Amino acid sequence: MHITMKRKKKRKPYLGPLFLAWCFECNLPIAKGKHCGLCGAETKRIRVTPPGDARPAFEADLKQLHSSISARFGEQVSRKLVPSDKIVLLNSIPEVDRCEEVILDGQIIGLHKFFLEKLAWEFIPKLEGARRLAQLVPSRCILVDDVAAQALARGANLMGPGVEEANTSINPGDVVFVVDKQGMVVLTGTAKMTGEEMLARTRGVAVKKRYSGSPAEPKILPGGQTWEQAVEANSPLLQRLEKEAISFIRTTITEVAKPPVVAFSGGKDSLVVLLLVKKALANQEFHVMFINTGIEFPETVENVSEVVSVLGLDKQLLVGHVDENQFFLVLEQYGFVARDYRVCCKTVKLGPTTQLIDEHFPEGCLSFIGQRRYESQRRSQARRIWRNPWVPNQIGASPIHNWTALMIWLYLLQEQAPFNILYRRGFERIGCMYCPASDMSEFTTIQSSHPKAWARWNQVALRIAKQHGLPKEWIKYGFWRWKNHPVPIRKIAEKLGVPLKAPSTEKVKRNIAFTISSIREDLEGGKLVQGRFNQSISLELVTAFLPALGEVVHDVNRGFIEISIITEDIIVKCLLFEGGNFVVSGTESALENTANLLVKAVLRGMLCTGCGTCLSHCTRNAISLEEQRARIDEQRCTSCTACLREKCPTLFALQRIPSKQ
């Protein structure tokens, strides 16, 4: 007996309730609410795709959208389909790269999608968009008989025999609109035949369906709307959001009882938090903290200065400066950073954040952060108040945890806040310039908007790819952004003929791996472990971290270092040789743990980039930074090994370095 298994549909990411609604009387978006704050009319919920974090379409967004529509249907059609006197929203949906639902007149008229394999944008009309385009581009319409129309409305492809009329200018690959005898669109999709073949009623698929449904007229509303009107229509909601957030800020400050700080990144979310904290604290002093990672957009650095100046917070600004070469040093040390290997974030942001807090707030601080549940799965599951294990001297709190992007933008427009100009230039998110979490659509924008910065990155990236034995397409299509590539990315790579092999650790000696070669009894009845690193060891660098293990006997000139670990119960000795060999001897119960700690100490000494993450984990203040490298003070260190067990990017890297034990 043959059993057919139904394929389980992939669930859309649910990060929070979908609030977006529309006032069809005013033709304005309502971020949340059953009634319009401008006219009082009842609103209607818009069925956007989760996570439902819609935002305004700014000048550059609209320019790119018009370009994509014009490429398929002509410039005149584009201007009529998306007129300049109406509000347009863009709702990002889960895709391989950037893809946004285009919302106009309270309807989703289509998708604006960046195709990674083409490195290009395309506009894909949905049914409402097809209904409008059918009136603007009648040459793309295909008339079918009643029987075919009914089948198409139920989801079938259009077969050649069902065609009654078609324009001979239609070619395979064209986006077309299938209409019934009343001229109503029942299907939109891609032509698989020429118009002449359709008229001949050639057998086979004439149009491959993308979207289909019951026939209906397009729901076109009058224009003339402004964002000032949208703010007014959402005013009652914005007042409630502000009141709740201010209450949260004041309550949290009282409960946590640590100095308040706003973590300002130059992005929209942290700007809203800054405005809210300023209102909540009135005349009470607080500080603004900005980490200049060295790879920030220059516009972001300028915006931070502008914002604190406009708000009168110049004297309260604390800036953590990271050398502009630090990120590239991380690439040299650890190889490509990735979405599932964010060693860059640990070294150029979280580490410097820890240092800045240590410097100004020895007892720690309460940081108000622009973190929202609609940004990611991880953030949707986070609490509103939390601790980041990478920044132990900070308690984080988010006043805007439940806000959507539209709420954020409406509030900024209401407050006439000086937000980052990059949003108007086509960037959906503002972060580090080379962040692996960015889409390739944004990287293509950076290539044209910041050519010098991109050229530097591209030169380094191509060189590292070559060292790893990877093709230049690894950089061109952004495959470097993952260590473990998701299935859709693997399919695109296969289609392009780009091998997604793991980077070779043998060709890049900066990636340290080790092997345990033998474990045997020693002369004193204990055990002896012998191992070897895959490269020679700089004893001078490693010495900086070995005091964490125990008493160190320096004998660098003879090419080795001896470490003695003595407690009430055990005596363990370690020998580390310049050539990469190491020996650990002592009681069996302590050997494995000691060998692991020795490996970690070597990694930290060899790969330290001076990010400063470890400073706050040392209760004895025994770690300091000298010449952008961490070093342990032997006089203060108690060899508790906490710094070898706590968070460090080098140990984070170790989890992904192949080794045999």
pLDDT of residue 1: 31
pLDDT confidence of 661, banded at 50, 70, 90?
A: very low
pLDDT of residue 374: 73
Q: 582 - beta bridge partners?
A: 531, 576
Say yes or no to pLDDT of 648 above 60: yes
Residue 523: C-alpha distances to residues 518, 565, 585 (Å): 15, 18, 10
- Give 201's contacts (C-beta < 8 A, 6+ positions apart): 160, 161, 163
What's the token pair of residue 437?
């979490």
pLDDT of residue 511: 62
Q: What are the backbone dihedrals phi and psi of residue 302, each rounded to the nearest 5 degrees, phi first?
A: -65, -40
Q: For 408-457, what is each residue's pLDDT tens digit?
A: 999 999 999 999 999 999 999 899 999 999 999 999 999 999 999 999 99
Question: 516: helix, coil or strand?
Answer: strand
pLDDT of residue 652: 61
pLDDT of residue 377: 66
Q: Mean pLDDT throughout 552-569?
A: 69
Mean pLDDT taken over the chain: 88
Q: Mean pLDDT throughout 614-642?
A: 81
Q: 572 - beta bridge partners?
A: 565
What's the token pair of residue 470?
């990877």
Q: Which of 331-335, 368-372, 383-387 has the highest mean pLDDT?
A: 368-372
On whether the CB atoms of residues 436 and 337 are closer than 8 A, the answer is: yes
315-324, 359-368, 589-598, range with the lowest pLDDT: 589-598
Question: 411: helix, coil or strand?
Answer: helix
Q: How far apart are CA 503 and CA 548, in angstroms?
A: 32
Q: How far apart are CA 407 and CA 410, in angstroms?
A: 5
Q: For 567-584, what is each residue's pLDDT tens digit?
A: 655 677 888 888 888 888
pLDDT of residue 504: 46
- Give 413's contacts (C-beta < 8 A, 6+ positions apart): 227, 228, 230, 231
Say yes or no to pLDDT of 47 above 60: yes
Q: How far apart are CA 586 and CA 579, in angstroms?
A: 22
pLDDT confidence of 616, banded at 50, 70, 90?
A: confident
Q: What are the backbone dihedrals phi and psi of residue 455, each rounded to the nearest 5 degrees, phi first?
A: -60, -40
Place of tokens 């060292």: 467
107-111, 143-147, 616-620, range with the lowest pLDDT: 616-620
Q: For 134-178, what is each residue's pLDDT tens digit?
A: 999 999 999 999 889 989 988 899 999 999 999 999 999 999 999
Domains by residue range for the chain, with CATH: 21-129 (3.10.450.120), 137-212 (2.30.130.10), 234-425 (3.40.50.620), 440-495 (no CATH), 514-654 (no CATH)
pLDDT of residue 646: 62
Q: Mean pLDDT throughout 392-407?
A: 94
Residue 589: C-alpha distances to residues 211, 527, 572 (Å): 65, 9, 10
First to last CA, the chain: 50
Residue 6: C-alpha distances to residues 3, 205, 206 (Å): 10, 24, 27
Q: Mean pLDDT throughout 224-249?
A: 98
Q: CA angle 129-135-139, nearest 5°? A: 105
Q: How far apart are CA 376 and CA 159, in angstroms?
A: 42
Q: What is the 3-state secondary structure (H, E, C) of 426-469?
A: CCCCCCCCCCCCCCHHHHHHHHHHCHHHHHHHHHHHHHHHHHCC
On whether the CB atoms of residues 645 and 604 are closer than 8 A, the answer is: no
Q: Mean pLDDT throughout 362-371?
A: 94
Share of the chain above pLDDT 90, in %: 60
pLDDT of residue 2: 35
Ordered alpha helix ranges (H), 202-315: 227-233, 235-256, 268-281, 298-310
Question: 597: helix, coil or strand?
Answer: helix
Q: For 502-547, what is each residue's pLDDT tens digit?
A: 554 433 345 677 787 777 776 566 778 888 887 888 888 888 888 8
Share of the chain above pLDDT 70, in %: 90
On whether the CB atoms of residues 199 and 208 are closer than 8 A, the answer is: no
pLDDT of residue 508: 39
Other CB atoms within 10 Å distance of the CB of residue 65: 22
